[in-house]
Amino acid sequence: MANNTADHPPGNSVTEIDQDGDFGITMIQLRDLMELRSGEAVSKIAECYGDVQGICRRLKTSTIEGLSANPTDLEKRYTVFGKNFIPPKKPKTFLQLVWEALQDVTLIILEVAAIISLGLSFYHPQGEGKDNCGQASGGVEDEGEAQAGWIEGAAILFSVIIVVLVTAFNDWSKEKQFRGLQNRIEKEQKFTVIRKGQVIQISVAEIVVGDIAQIKYGDLLPADGILIQGNDLKIDESSLTGESDHVRKSLEKDPMLLSGTHVMEGSGRMVVTAVGMNSQTGIIVTLLGATGEDEKKVKKAKTQDGIALEIQPLKSEEGAETEEKEEKEKKKVNVSKKEKSVLQSKLTRLAVQIGKAGLIMSAVTVIILILYFVIDTFGVQGHKWTAECTPIYVQYFVKFFIIGVTVLVVAVPEGLPLAVTISLAYSVKKMMKDNNLVRHLDACETMGNATAICSDKTGTLTMNRMTVVQAYIGDTHYKNVPEPGAINPETLELLVNSISINSAYTTKIMPPEMEGGLPRHVGNKTECSLLGLVLDLKRDYQPIRDEIPEEKLYKVYTFNSSRKSMSTVLKNATGPGFRMYSKGASEIVLRKCSHVLDASGQPRAFKAKDRDEMVRKVIEPMACDGLRTICVAMRNFTTEPDWDNEAEILNDLTCICVVGIEDPVRHEVPEAIAKCQRAGITVRMVTGDNINTARAIATKCGILQPGEDFLCMEGKEFNQQIRNDKGEVEQERLDKVWPKLRVLARSSPTDKHTLVKGIIDSTVGETRQVVAVTGDGTNDGPALKKADVGFAMGIAGTDVAKEASDIILTDDNFTSIVKAVMWGRNVYDSISKFLQFQLTVNVVAVIVAFTGACITQDSPLKAVQMLWVNLIMDTLASLALATEPPTESLLLRKPYGRNKPLISRTMMKNILGHAIYQLVITFTLLFAGEKLFNIDNGRNAPLHSPPSEHYTIIFNVFVMMQLFNEINARKIHGERNVFEGIYRNPIFCSVVLGTFVLQIVIVQFGGKPFSCTALTIDQWLWCVFIGVGELLWGQLISAIPTHHLKFLKEAGHGIPKNEFSEEVLTEGENEIDIAEMELRRGQILWFRGLNRIQTQMDVVYTFQTGQTPVPGALRRQPSVVSQHNDAKTVSSPTHVGISSSSLSANSAVAAGPPAPASSSTTGN
């Protein structure tokens, strides 16, 4: 079975191509050709074009030299065949966003109330002014006042308009910001093509039909193409066809490569035949776009975890929009299957609780007001209900209704989603500077809760700049790289040839970018270290590669995670037979060696005891120095064997040498790991290296400390300990292993996935674990998806790993993970700060409105004033408190974990403590304010009476207290210095000052609409003085030790373990969120509409799952419940149908054993 390659006809070089002539093949012909598969395609190519070369000739390209990179030629190709991007959908217009914001039920109720109020204020019945309408008759003091009755209704409408515009503007700016992020990521996405005979990397959008693209393990194909030459190429086409098996590609059987599919093994070259809208993915996206309604039928994929994934395969400028619409569509039909992050599920539960309380309070307020009025008017005063009095009574009822709705508006913290959104958006922007590119917004906040990090070794903890420092050649163990003269010439020749040929030709060592710098390593770093050894031995690998180009390689067994070796077969030029060069992990390759080259370069027998001695004397000492050991071997075949029988072929090898490769630990890593450990985060190392190397590196990093009894084990032993006799993973067994495990060596991707899943599902310990995972290889995909937060390497990571991840480390550095933890905790703290502030405002405003209304028949804070407090305090406070920069002190406390409540006991102490101060002040002013300030009593004022100084002072003092309490809210852990670092947050300072200025304007010039009257300078100074009292009161509260206040309840818990009822666990793949289940209960179904959070969270959802900065994203959804569903490992893939409302009818979701992620879709 020959290496797949197309013969290269002589003379077909770039220079001979007539640039101006028409192409010998049309776009339609290519499109039709790309729709064929395997045998059909091969016969069609043979019949119409002869072979792939024929297509290349017609496309005026050379299989060796590629395109000429002539701008006019490229422009012509763009014109004829199209560009490689799908035009983005139009973003939602501002008016659409305004319309969406108007759907909020609370706002609709307010609008209705305001319109009724407006209507009634213009209606002046005959009976007005008569005494027979009871206390209502005092409603009008003069004609001018009667005319001003419309102002309250108009002011409420105006406030509603402001709220709607603010909400819409926020949505609009978020969408704009994330489109920018989307575009930035697309620009950064590069692909390797050959132009003018040079291998270059160009942006995916610049690829044209006719380009010769180099493809390798881990790539996501950006365009359709036909294979020209391939080595052991296997493609995962599940995103397009639904077939989860990897498809082997070869010139003879199936040369068709499709955009959006993943290279899972091997390498090769292809000629690009369709781009953008004409590629297979583009066609599918076009079909989806055409129907609109079918957005939600975008291909579903199955994963080994039984979680439905969405694939949006093409690198396009379109990811954000399609997916956002698709999310919206899906949300309508699939609420119960929505999963929430840790913070979101806590917030939803808290919002439900607050909403219930607010609803009850507002209903009771309205009922008491109406009853009091009815009993007083018709009972005590004994009036009759007459037709002429009806409008006046209705006006009163409307006023009561407005007060009730206002109480509800203030009770529901609709600023909360805004605070979450602002905090996350701000953090994401800043994290970019810290080398964290966040792809799923919720990952940013989840990272703050992380309790465990499972990290790769190579490239993350180490520099990924590998160099050979020791070697065992010809029976001699060299502690440094030997001189060429010390090695037998024949052995040296074999070694140099083996390394030069048996490595990816894309791996090279380039001259340094700047003088005095280190040479640049391009491609696989381990192979670079071996090429470096060739250069150290004063030889050059390039002439050997030029002599034996890739086309002449007979067969290549590329490296993969199960083989752990790479082999290349050459046909002997002189006589019959073949020679195979191999390299790989020393323990694995040495087991397959039957001979070893001695000092004279002659093979001698290599038996089991020799191998054991070599392991003891050579490999273990190297590994204990923290070196990775690689064995280089060869084998000669006299006759052609069965190349598919790998076990037989990779046997009977002759060992040429064993090298020890050093990958130094990054100098900043030990400190970063120490920070993690101080912050209560356990760092575990999961690596494919042998156990001695892993242990040495773990000790250098500080993962293992001398004198601690933590476990280091190999994948094999790990599996023996956690699996039962049937080979199934048992959670109880795993729970005995993972708490002490620190290093897992020689681990397979499946081991990594099993470990991560086991830790997440585990219920041992006080809190449930939140796990972050780092990975770079295609095989890390399953573990990255399974983790609560997946980090992919931006430099060394493959496209597949990046897609499965939530955050991309643009510098591949572990320190960036520590920064992500800091930002994540900061988000969590910002939300808590905002909650502390918000709930104090809410508690006070609701109680004041409720008691005031019940005692004085009127709320001391008018509807418009409440809306001002609500809107400005909410929006501006969320901006001020959500943009606090993080500090190192965040890393000095333990992680919150899943079950820790959002509102701790300390916060509850602060909320209630400040609420008491504010309530005492407010009620003192309400019932004795006229005496204290020597002003007229504002209580029991009739309908439409002018604003009083008394009530203006109450309103002003209330706002001043909130303003100074906002400074108190900056600290949530009981710190005394609330001003610490305030100058580092200019947004906070400007918000506080801005609110103060606006308050002055409202009080002095707000007049009738705001129910305010201008105050004197003395009254202002008293208001500010009472406000400053908040800061002093805050000091008093922080002096009270929290542990003495046992009666204080915490609120906003995560989901406790015992709430996972059997019923939920048996729901299978439905993944019902507990918070959503609570929402379903009959008595509060209505609340779902009222809860503004549902509406405004759309923004957050858009980030979380809608925007996929690296398109093609396999969507991962972290949910507590899904993790419990996953606990049932199904040994064979089982298909579970999901209702057609959420999936296209014939899509399926599979739960199967951990295998590399694949996807199941409807066929084309």
Cβ atoms of residues 672 and 679 within 8 Å: no
Instruction: Extract the runs of DSSP E, i.e. beta strands, from 196-311.
Output: 198-203, 212-216, 224-236, 247-249, 256-257, 262-274, 300-301, 309-310
Cα end-to-end distance, the chain, whole Å? 31
Q: Which of 826, 840, 828 is nearest to 964 (CA)?
A: 840
Q: What are the residues facing 745 on neighbouring strands?
A: 714
Q: Which of 1128, 1137, 1161 is nearest to 305 (CA)?
A: 1128
User: How many whole angstroms separate alpha carbon 972 and alpha carbon 839?
Assistant: 13
Instruction: Output DSSP code: residue 328.
Output: H
Cβ atoms of residues 248 and 264 within 8 Å: no
* Cα angle 493-499-502, degrees, rounded to a multiple of 5: 120
Half-sphere exposure (Cβ direction) of 959: Cα atoms closer than 13 Å: 29
Q: Is 894 helix (H, G, I), strand (E, B) or coil?
A: coil
Helix, strand, coil tally for the chain in percent (to 5):
50, 15, 35
User: How many whole angstroms separate alpha carbon 848 and alpha carbon 169?
Assistant: 32
**Residue found by looking up tokens 């405004």 in the block:** 1096
User: How many whole angstroms separate alpha carbon 329 and alpha carbon 443?
Assistant: 23
Q: Residues 171, 219, 434, 456: which is the catalytic one?
A: 456
Cβ atoms of residues 619 and 586 within 8 Å: yes
Q: Please say if 456 is a catalytic residue.
A: yes
Tokens coding 379: 């009972």
User: Residues near 1130 by Cβ (< 8 Å), separated by ≥ 6?
Assistant: 306, 1151, 1152, 1153
Burial of 994 (0-12, 13-18, 19+ CB in 10 A): middle
Neighbours of 455 (CB within 10 A): 23
Q: Is 531 helix (H, G, I), strand (E, B) or coil?
A: helix
Q: Is 809 helix (H, G, I), strand (E, B) or coil?
A: strand
Q: Which of 882, 863, 871 is nearest to 841 (CA)?
A: 871
Cβ atoms of residues 1087 and 342 within 8 Å: no
CA distances 36 to 227, 299, 1156, Å, are 14, 20, 27
User: How many whole angstroms separate alpha carbon 222 and alpha carbon 207?
Assistant: 8
Cβ atoms of residues 229 and 52 within 8 Å: no
CA distances 799 to 180, 189, 808, 1114, Å, are 21, 9, 11, 11
Tokens coding 489: 């010439």
Q: Which of 549, 564, 464, 523 is nearest to 218 (CA)?
A: 523
Cβ atoms of residues 457 and 776 within 8 Å: no
CA distances 1140 to 265, 290, 311, Å, are 35, 20, 18
In one-letter notation, the amino acid at residue 312 is Q
Instruction: Output DSSP code: residue 488.
Output: -
Residue 3's φ and ψ, nearest 5 degrees, are -65, 135
Stated as kind and residue range, the H or E segment containing 54 is helix 52-58
CA distances 681 to 117, 393, 753, Å, are 58, 64, 19
Cβ atoms of residues 457 and 697 within 8 Å: yes
Please state the length of the chain.
1164
Active site residues: 456
